[in-house]
Amino acid sequence: MSKIGVLGAGSWGIALATVLDTNGNDVTVWSTIEDEVKMLSEKREHTSKLPGVKLGEKIVFTTDIEKAVVGKEIIVMAVPSVFVRSTAEKIAPLVKEGQIVVDVAKGIEEDTLLPMTELIESIVKNVDIAILSGPSHAEEVGRKMPTTIVAGSKKKSVAEKIQQTFMNEYFRVYTSPDVLGIGLGGSLKNVIALAAGMADGLGCGDNTKAALITRGIREISALAIAMGACAETVEGLSGMGDLIVTCASVHSRNRKAGMLMGQGKTMKEATEEVQMVVEGIYSAKAAKALSEKYNVETPIIDSVNQVLFEDRSVKECLNELMNRDRKSEHTHLKWEEQ
């Protein structure tokens, strides 16, 4: 049994808290919202974000971040990516050497272009930074549906500790040393999922969705490799796996926001209707900036940015994507004859 603090009481933080509680760990969940903590403590259920998922009686809920950090073997960073920096600054004076901080937020900071693990590492010193990511909607994990995910760390022992702590009969965890690749896959897939949702909103079909997923993973892979990540990671759970589920699932907030925009709503109107943080919107500008920095062609990511920030219509951007110059799918393959 481990003492674990989960920072963030959104749907993903609560779902992971249920996994950890099921595995017999001592779990404390922190939220800044007093009414949320009161509801969770009294009703043992997040009535708005995970209705129907009953929470173990031993899980402690608190607004005191010190209570969720001090003395904990593992700290799970489950706040939205836009709050990772401020939360890391809060815990930096509280953590001690030997503690493990696990990032489960998916994003890239817009101003610094740092993936979440590198952002945390720049603020929180003398701890082991890790990541947990993959195709894992909170709505299904909370209901104990079979899910597979990957734990990444520079240290094998840390990744295996996370694997041991989280893994059970419905939550299977693999390990990987490619922290960068895991983080990029989890962040960039949200941008592609916005595009998939936009196509759904326009009334496009399965052919379009398959094209966006396939060409989208090509953009993610090219950028990740240019930045030093491994191709195998992008092909795995935190890349292709997470991209498929986020582009196709009814639970996906990024797909839903994109779909609303495809139906003609503005970005503001779409995010207000989704009523949750749409991570892809915050990662889109950073993804475009990274593609320019590393000289990687990312037409889908560019198109999403045009819809979000340049007032271009979804239909116009889709038409431009379809009518780009003719290309070979795999430029490194050799022809037998010219």
pLDDT of 276 > 90? The answer is no
From the list 49, 72, 90, 189, the catalytic residue is: 189
Inter-residue contact 103 to 120 (CB < 8 Å): yes
Question: CA 261, 202, 239: angle at the middle one, nearest 5?
Answer: 75
Can you state the angle between helices 279-293 and 253-262, rounded to 10 degrees?
A: 90
Checking if the pLDDT of 250 tops 90, the result is no
Which of 16-25, 80-89, 264-273 has the lowest average pLDDT?
A: 264-273
Q: Who contacts 164 (Cβ-Cβ below 8 Å, separation ≥6)?
A: none
Question: Is 174 within 8 Å of 231 (Cβ atoms)?
Answer: no
Best CA proximity match to 187, nearest among 123, 136, 239 = 239
Q: Determine the pLDDT at residue 277.
A: 79
Helix (H, G, I), strand (E, B) or coil at 34: helix
Please list the residues that pair with 133 across neighbouring strands: 150
Q: Average pLDDT, stretch 296-309?
A: 96
**From its phi and psi, is residue 75 left (phi > 0), alpha (psi between -120 and 50) or beta?**
beta
What's phi and psi for 132, nearest 5 deg?
-135, 120
CB-based burial of residue 12 (10 Å sphere; 0-12 exposed, 13-18 middle, 19+ buried)?
A: buried
User: Higher-confidence residue: 280 or 167?
Assistant: 167
Q: Which CATH class is domain 3-177?
A: alpha beta
Closest-CA residue to 218 (of 95, 122, 141, 301): 301
The per-residue pLDDT for 332 is 87
3-state secondary structure of 64: coil
CATH topology of domain 180-322: N-(1-d-carboxylethyl)-l-norvaline Dehydrogenase; domain 2 (1.10.1040)
pLDDT for 102-115, tens place per residue? 999 999 999 999 99
Question: Residues 49-57: what's their mean pLDDT?
Answer: 94
Q: Tell me the domain boundaries of the chain.
A: 3-177, 180-322
Catalytic site residue 67? Answer: no
pLDDT band at 145 (very low <50, low <70, confident <90, very high): very high
Mean pLDDT estimate for the chain:
95
Please report, for residues 59, 144, 226, 303, the alpha-carbon distance to residue 18 in angstroms, rounded to integers and kept in the order given: 8, 9, 37, 38
pLDDT tens across 61-98, in order?
A: 999 999 999 999 999 999 999 999 999 999 999 999 99
